[in-house]
A = this chain, B = another copy of it.
């Protein structure tokens, strides 16, 4: 075992012997403070890169003040810092499914030192073998044969449900009823009623229910939201985004899940739901009260349906506040996976891959009323400043011998850390970055798009 492998093993080792706290959990308050200060300084320096506007501009452009600092708690390698209580047994993740996204989530959670105690798969023999191989690769202590066995394990406090789309709601309900906090892959549910039932169970039992829109917890996304909420780009009036790629129709000889209607495939339920998330993130960003009632949103869509799934879809989402999103998604073409958030005074450009964005940039224009030259009829807003943000992911745990399945998937450490921290906090009942009401709206928006495209009629009941 070479030095790197030994270090990696040391990172993983504590998980094998039960649930001892990792070195990270034992970080002293002073070390944590230092890490926080270091991160804050980085953000501060990034914001200082804004060129100061002229005195006249500054007088009339209070929106150019730097946005609030991010309290991003990352250590020097980019791993989230978690306050884990030392006075009770350590909470562990249970992973449901051994698929691609579960693979990436587990790599991120194990890498960050979380306790990943068990993996479960459906009761099929092949799935069982796959789960065992999965557990071996990530050195997980157990690979349960059944969901019931996982649910019965008192060491498992949090369950990540990453099974096939059609099983999401059923499994989430099952584990909530067994007292587990649930991080649930999207699409959360097929119907609004099913989502409401899950939310009611979670609320009644004070359990977390979080749809895994992991993008939301990325430092880049938090930076973009802070910029927008600071008013720096003015009122948001348009969001444009595109996510598409050429999927392979047949994979391992079978119809790929993307094209398989019985597995709830299609561009919208996959990439389109991220675009809906971007719409809800930014379209009401300037309103004083967040309002997730669908009555305040409108949805129009165009799409191509083949074999029961939508393969090319474009959609508009409108907000009663007067802002709109124009989005495109497809399984059959190229895209730059970028999202642009356009305000009255500037633009935030979330650079691709906007599902898991590592970089963004903001451009701020001077107010039209500041223009002293003859008003130009078009495109003539003078640029005030531009700056960018770039985050670096923690390293992939190479000792697994595996590799990422999704781009920048190690970024799932951010949602995993936020979830775990909230779970330890008795006052935290929902993750503030994605409240239950917004998750409910996201179920509605995605299914409205599908309804407008004319696919999955009868499946959904929103």
Residues in B neighbouring A355, C-beta threshold 8 A: 378-379
User: Of the candidates B100, B322, B333, B381, which one forms a contact with A304 in the assembled complex, judged by CB atoms under 8 Å apart?
Assistant: B322
Q: Is there a chain B Cβ closer than 8 Å to A88's Cβ?
A: no
- With A and B bound together, what is the CA distance between A399 and B298 in angstroms? 53
Name which residue of chain B comes closest to A375, CB basis.
B248
Residues in B neighbouring A379, C-beta threshold 8 A: 245, 337, 352-353, 355, 407
Q: Is there a chain B Cβ closer than 8 Å to A346's Cβ?
A: yes
Are B378's CB and A406's CB within 8 A? Answer: yes
Most buried by B among A298, A328, A377, A406: A377
Interface size class of A (residues with CB under 8 A): 35 or more
A298 to chain B, nearest CB (A): 6
A169 to chain B, nearest CB (A): 22
Residues in B neighbouring A242, C-beta threshold 8 A: 238, 240, 326, 340, 342
Q: Is there a chain B Cβ closer than 8 Å to A170's Cβ?
A: no
User: Of the candidates B234, B314, B325, B342, which one forms a contact with A335 in the assembled complex, judged by CB atoms under 8 Å apart?
Assistant: B342
Q: Is there a chain B Cβ closer than 8 Å to A195's Cβ?
A: no
- With A and B bound together, what is the CA distance between A462 and B187 in angstroms? 41
Apart from A298-B302, A314-B326, A352-B379, list 14 A-B contacts with CB within 8 A: A238-B314, A240-B242, A242-B340, A245-B380, A248-B369, A248-B371, A300-B302, A312-B323, A314-B316, A315-B316, A333-B343, A334-B363, A336-B347, A380-B407
- With A and B bound together, what is the CA distance between A216 and B424 in angstroms? 61
Considering only residues 287-314 of chain A, those with a C-beta below 8 Å from chain B are 298, 300-304, 312-314
Q: Is there a chain B Cβ closer than 8 Å to A123's Cβ?
A: no
Q: Given A325-B314, A344-B333, A355-B378, answer yes or no on A240-B240 (Cβ-Cβ < 8 Å).
A: yes
Are B330's CB and A326's CB within 8 A? Answer: no
Name which residue of chain B comes closest to A408, CB basis.
B379
Are B314's CB and A301's CB within 8 A? Answer: no
Considering only residues 202-241 of chain A, those with a C-beta below 8 Å from chain B are 233-234, 237-238, 240
User: Of the candidates B345, B353, B405, which one forms a contact with A377 in the assembled complex, judged by CB atoms under 8 Å apart?
Assistant: B405
Are B328's CB and A240's CB within 8 A? Answer: yes
Residues in B neighbouring A179, C-beta threshold 8 A: none
Are A246's CB and B344's CB within 8 A? Answer: yes
